[in-house]
C-alpha cells in the first residue's frame, strides 16, 4: 500500500556495502551498524525495511557510480529482483549513456540529480527514454546552496530550476541538503516552506537531517509529501512501532 505521505528509508552503497552517510563527506563514510540488523549488506537492509518496518519503497544512492562512475549494476539488479520494495535510484546520472545503463533494471524511479546531470538536455533525454512517471529530480544543496557540476545549472536559483523542470512535466522532486545528511539536526528548513507555497501541485520529498518521528510529523504538517530517513532509522531512533503508529494516525 502506498501512503499519501511517504517515509522512505535510504541505503547508501559504497564498495558494495551499505555505509553511513555524514554531511556529504564521502571519503569519511563507513559501513553502517543498524540497530535492527547485524549486517551491512544492502540486500539484508531491504529485508529489514520490508519485514520489520513494512516499508514499500526505498531510496538507494549508488556512491560508487556517483563518485567513480562504476555502478553496482549486478548488485542492484539482484536487489531489484529479490526485494518486494520499489526502488528509486540515484546513480549520479550525467548523460544519456548513464540513463541507458539503468533503463531496463526494473527500477520504480530513476533520480536525476542537479549535482551530476551535465545539462537540462539530460532531463529531456530521460523523459524520452523512461517516461515522466519514472523520473524524480533531486535538487542537491549544501547549506541551502545549490550544487552542480554543470555551470549552466549552478548559476540558477532553485525556483528557476523547479519552474524549468515543471514545464517539462516533471511532477516530483527531492530537496536534498547534503550538509544535513547524517546530522540529526532536523529535516526541514525555512526556505523549503516558500518552495512548497510557490509550487503547490508538485510532490516534494525532503532529505537530510531527519532526527526522529516528531520531525517526520512536522514535515508532513508543513505540507510536504514525504521524507528520506537514514541515520535516525539506523540508530534505532525511529522504530518499527513509530512507523506503524505514524501511519495509523496520519
Where the chain has pLDDT below 50, the residues are: none
pLDDT at residue 24 in the model: 54
Domains and CATH numbers, the chain: 6-249 (3.20.20.70)
pLDDT at residue 250 in the model: 79
223 backbone dihedrals φ, ψ, rounded to 5°? 95, 10
- In sequence order, what are the residues at sequence separation of 6 or more whose Cβ sits closer than 8 angstroms to the Cβ of residue 96? 122, 125, 129
Give the whole-angstrom CA distance, residue 152 versus residue 175. 19
Which residue shows C-alpha cell 563507513?
A: 30
Give the whole-angstrom CA distance, residue 216 versus residue 227. 7
Residue pLDDT, tens place only, 195-240: 999 999 999 999 999 999 999 999 999 999 999 999 999 999 999 9
Task: Give the three-class secondary structure for 201.
Answer: coil
Grid coordinates of 223: 505540507
pLDDT at residue 188 in the model: 74
- What value does the mean pLDDT of the chain take? 92
User: What's the N-to-C CA distance of the chain in angstroms?
Assistant: 14
pLDDT at residue 147 in the model: 93
DSSP state of 88: E
pLDDT at residue 229 in the model: 96
Q: Which regions of the chain does DSSP assign to beta strands (E)?
A: 6-14, 17-20, 30-31, 57-62, 86-90, 109-113, 135-142, 145-146, 172-177, 203-207, 226-229
Amino acid at each position: 500500500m502506498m501512503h499519501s505521505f511517504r517515509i522512505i528509508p535510504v541505503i547508501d552503497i559504497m564498495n558494495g556495502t551499505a555505509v553511513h552517510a555524514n554531511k556529504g563527506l564521502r571519503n569519511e563514510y563507513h559501513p553502517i551498524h543498524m540497530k535492527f540488523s547485524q549486517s551491512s549488506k544492502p540486500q539484508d537492509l531491504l529485508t529489514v525495511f520490508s519485514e520489520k518496518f513494512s516499508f514499500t519503497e526505498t531510496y538507494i544512492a549508488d556512491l560508487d557510480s556517483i563518485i567513480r562512475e562504476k555502478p553496482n549494476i549486478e548488485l542492484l539488479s539482484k536487489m531489484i529482483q529479490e526485494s518486494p520494495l520499489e526502488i528509486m535510484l540515484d546513480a549520479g546520472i550525467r548523460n544519456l549513456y548513464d540513463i541507458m545503463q539503468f533503463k531496463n533494471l526494473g527500477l520504480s524511479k530513476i533520480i536525476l540529480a542537479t549535482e551530476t546531470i551535465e545539462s537540462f538536455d539530460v532531463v529531456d533525454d530521460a523523459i524520452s527514454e523512461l517516461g515522466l512517471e519514472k523520473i524524480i529530480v533531486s535538487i542537491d544543496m549544501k547549506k541551502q546552496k545549490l550544487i552542480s557540476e554543470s555551470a549552466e545549472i549552478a548559476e540558477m536559483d532553485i525556483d528557476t530550476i523547479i519552474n524549468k523542470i515543471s514545464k517539462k512535466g516533471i511532477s516530483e522532486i527531492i530537496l536534498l541538503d547534503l550538509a544535513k545528511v547524517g546530522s540529526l539536526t532536523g529535516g526541514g528548513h525555512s526556505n523549503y516552506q516558500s518552495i512548497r507555497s510557490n509550487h503547490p501541485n508538485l510532490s516534494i520529498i525532503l532529505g537530510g537531517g531527519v532526527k526522529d518521528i516528531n520531525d517526520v510529523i512536522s514535515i508532513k504538517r508543513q505540507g510536504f509529501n514525504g521524507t528520506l530517513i537514514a541515520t535516525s532509522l539506523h540508530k534505532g531512533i525511529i522504530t518499527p512501532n513509530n512507523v506503524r503508529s505514524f501511519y495509523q494516525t496520519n
